[in-house]
Each structure stands twice: as C-alpha cells, then as structure tokens.
Structure 1
Amino acid sequence: MSCAHPPGLPFVDAMTPAVLVLAGPVTRDRVAGLCEDLRTLLEATGAGVVVCDAGGLGPPGLGTVDLLARLQLTARRAGVRLRLRDPDPALHALLDLVGLRFEMEGQPEQREPPLRVEEEVEPGEPAL
C-alpha cells in the first residue's frame, strides 16, 4: 500500500524558533543534560534559532552563567543562534559583567546608528 503525498512543497514555518525551557536550580549535573537536550532539539527541528526561556532559572549565579555559556557554545558549534527569553534583570547584568553577550527576545538587533539627518536651510537664513 502506498501513501500519496499532497502536491507542492511541504509547509515549513522558518520564522518559528525552537524553544528550550530552562528551570532552576542549576547544578553541574544538569548542565551536561541540558546541552544534550539542546542537541536533541536541534536534530529534531532543524531550527536556525533556539530560544532559551530563562524565566524559571531562579536567582542567577555562576552555575547559571556556566550553563548559558555551554548552551551558547553548543548552539554555535551547530551553526545556530541562541536567544534568551525573559531573563531576570540580575542575570542580564551578571552576563554583561562576565562578558557573555546574548540576543534577547523582544530587543531590536544591534545595527549601525542612523545617519545624521540634515535639515534644509532656506536661502538667506543663517546656518546653525
């Protein structure tokens, strides 16, 4: 018995990122398991962007920083971008302090600053 496929290309929503929900507390044993969960998620979805929901991580600490650094490394090795969703403001400050830069969901991408706008001056008016 054969199964007929519908005509045309399959529907793939490339704009929908894969989501990995992180919950605390973070221990050394859980770090390796969460990195493996990320690899499994990437193999299953083939996504180009993974959103890590960091809302449930609890109070930030060095274990959380270690986890996020390893997840970011795992994602980069797979050629995928990692984005954080709903991080605690203290976690965001701690990541800045240790020099880890993450894309944050809902923030505009870093781009070049806009060029200066020059106003038109009427003939005979002094330039400011």
Structure 2
Amino acid sequence: MVEPPEPPPESVLPRSPALIVYAPLTRADVPGLCARLVELLRHERADPLPCDVSALVCPDLAVIEALARLQLTARGLGRRIRLRGASGELRDLLTLTGLDTIVPAGPREAGLRVECRREAEQREQVRHVQERVEADDPPL
C-alpha cells in the first residue's frame, strides 16, 4: 500500500491574492494604488481582501491617509480590505489616529503600545485669590 504524499509546508502553499503596498509610499502613489485595488477587486472574491503592508516599516501620516483611501475605495465597491503584516508602528499610528477600526490590521499579538496619559502639574495651588472687576470692563 502506497501512503499518500505529505502536504506541502504552509510557506509553499499559494496564498490568496493580495494587494501589496510597497515603501516608500507617498500621496502621489495613492491614485495608482487605488486603481490596482479596483482591478484586483474585480477579479478576486475574498472579502475582506488582504492588503500586504509588511514593507511599511516606518509609517507616517501619508501612509495612514493612503490606507484610509484604499478602504474608502473598497467600500465604494461594497468590499473591504484587511491589513496583513502590519508593523507595530503602523498599528500604533492607526490606533492613535482612530483609524484602527476603519482599517483593521488583524489580531494584535502584544497589545496596544500607545498610551495617552496626562500627568499632573507639580505646582502649588494658589490660595486666597479673588478676582477684581474693573468698572470699565464690558460684561462677557
């Protein structure tokens, strides 16, 4: 009896088509990127469509704007994108701008690294202060 061949390792299996975003990404690249997305969405039925952003290791606000524009383009066609291979910096920037729910990047392994905290000022509170109103001052 011949045993069936072992399945190939996962790294050899073909992945579903994805939009690949290369770095550096500027605002001038957005129209062409959106056109590639529209063409890919016409032929691919995966929803959400994977968007490989692993090359974007030093993201800035132009990258965030481009990803938001891609999601708007996909939603205009009744579809969505989901980021694949997002760096921690990109995830943090998406969270900081409030776009992490609009442009999802999949599950986070280590949790949120951005924390917004307010530190108390270290000065004494001024006591016994009374406001004086000048007779010439118009009311507010």
Identity of aligned residues (%): 40
Matched-pair contact (CA < 8 Å) for 2:83–2:105: yes
Q: Normalising by structure 2, what TM-score?
A: 0.60
Give the count of matched residue pairs. Answer: 92
1:94 equivalenced with 2:93 (yes/no): yes
Cα separation, 2, equivalents of 1:95 and 1:86: 14
Query: What SS is found at the alignment partner of 1:58?
Result: coil
Matched-pair contact (CA < 8 Å) for 1:18–1:49: no
By how many angstroms is 1:92 displaced? 0.5
Amino acid at match of 1:45: E
The CA RMSD measured in Å over matched residues stands at 1.8
Gaps of 5+ in 2: 1-14, 109-140
Task: Name the residue aligned to 2:24.
Answer: 25
Task: Name the residue aligned to 1:103.
Answer: 104
Matched-pair contact (CA < 8 Å) for 2:21–2:53: yes
Matched-pair contact (CA < 8 Å) for 1:17–1:48: no
By how many angstroms is 1:47 displaced? 3.3
Query: What SS is found at the alignment partner of 2:57?
Result: coil
Query: What SS is found at the alignment partner of 1:23?
Result: coil
CA 1:94/1:25 → structure 2, altered by over 3 Å: closer, same or farther? same
Cα separation, 2, equivalents of 1:46 and 1:70: 20
Larger Rg: 2
Query: What SS is found at the alignment partner of 2:31?
Result: helix
Task: Map Cα deviations across residues 84-128 of structure 1 (whole Å, 9 max, x no partner).
Answer: 1111101111111111023223x29xxxxxxxxxxxxxxxxxxxx
